[in-house]
Amino acid sequence: MIYTVTFNPSLDYVVQVDDFAVGEINRTRAESIYPGGKGINVSLVLQNLGLPSVALGFTAGFSGAEIERLLQEAGCQCDFIAVKAGYSRINTKIISGAETALNGQGPQLSETELAALFNKLRRLTQDDVLVLAGSIPASLPDNIYEQILELLQPVGTRVVVDATGDLLLKVLKYRPFLIKPNHEELGEFFGRGPLLTEEEILAAAQRLQQQGARNVLVSRGANGALLLDENGKMHKQASPKGTLVNSVGAGDSMVAGFLAGYLQTQDYDAALRLGVAAGSASAFKAWLATREDVEKILASGTTGK
């Protein structure tokens, strides 16, 4: 089974406003409510692609209940820990030409609630996959990802980590199955700007492998993605042509597509192709890609190398 962890999920309230004015009453032209968080996005796209997963994490209050309801409505399995105090955060995104975001803080997590998550993770085996994605709330220790990988290392659970900075670098010694930086984050790891050439990306990915990462998947936006697999082979995949509508969730969709492709075929080329198709399909629409969206891109043959 695939498990995803979202430490600080959100209810995303997205509104479109004509000529938004600060200090005035503004009326919406359109509005939508989505469950948010990187791990949740991975679970949703996996479900759309026909692979079940279990969404783990923490929810609180009426907003947490709504997050869980929306996920279940989409067919996702949930095993959240109910936090006693506070509410799951509500993120408001105002689209009026440019996009303005106001993100909530989320609840404070207790040691007891965190221990409950670890109890769930102790049930994972070598046949399972765990996806750790995104930042962590301030109430959690900054080595929480390390604690989880250390816990799972003896049983051999394959772990996917999609995070930035030290949160990612400090877990490499536990040999995660997959990490997914983008080309900008990859440069930041080594004190540089965005890495633009294939040669630069390959050299940086090799350094991350030397530190322990098994597979390094680097998203490059409109330029597709590169994968340095655990056998030392580089794979590359171009992005299809399309109009960028919303980049939020595209990277999570790529992770979901890659996992779906790899688990179904055990082939890294096929996994990368499906990952890029899923990431692009989400980038070309207001929310996350459906199976039909991904299949259209694959059938069009526009994800050539």
State pLDDT tens for residues 58-80. 999 999 999 999 999 999 999 99
Sign for the CA dihedral angle at 170, 174, 175, 179 comes to negative
Candidates 66, 49, 79, 58; CA nearest to 7 is: 58
Structure token digits, residue 37: 């968080």
With b for 16 or more beta-carbon neighbours within 10 A and e for fewer, the 45-80 pattern comes to bbbbbebebbbbbbbbbebbbbbbebbeeeebebeb
- Is 252 marked active-site? yes
- Interval 114-135: pLDDT, tens: 999 999 999 999 999 999 998 8
3-class secondary structure, 198:
helix
- Structural contact between residues 278 and 294, judged by C-beta atoms closer than 8 angstroms: yes
Strand extents, DSSP E, 178-276: 178-179, 215-219, 225-228, 234-237
**Cα gap 283→275, rounded to integer Å:** 12
Q: The whole model's pTM is what?
A: 0.93
The CATH superfamily assigned to 2-8+39-85+106-300 is Ribokinase (3.40.1190.20)
**Cα gap 289→300, rounded to integer Å:** 16
Q: Which entry of 252, 267, 269, 293 is annotated as an active-site residue?
A: 252
pLDDT of the residue at 218 = 94
Query: Cα Rg for the chain, rounded, in angstroms?
Result: 19
Candidates 145, 187, 184; CA nearest to 168 is: 145
| Average pLDDT over the chain, rounded to an integer | 92
- Interval 89-102: pLDDT, tens: 999 999 898 888 89
For the chain, what are the domain ranges?
2-8+39-85+106-300
Which amino acid is it at 250? A
pLDDT of the residue at 12 = 94
Structure token digits, residue 165: 């900075």
- Interval 248-264: pLDDT, tens: 889 999 999 999 999 99
pLDDT of the residue at 27 = 94
Neighbour count for residue 197 (Cβ, 10 Å): 9
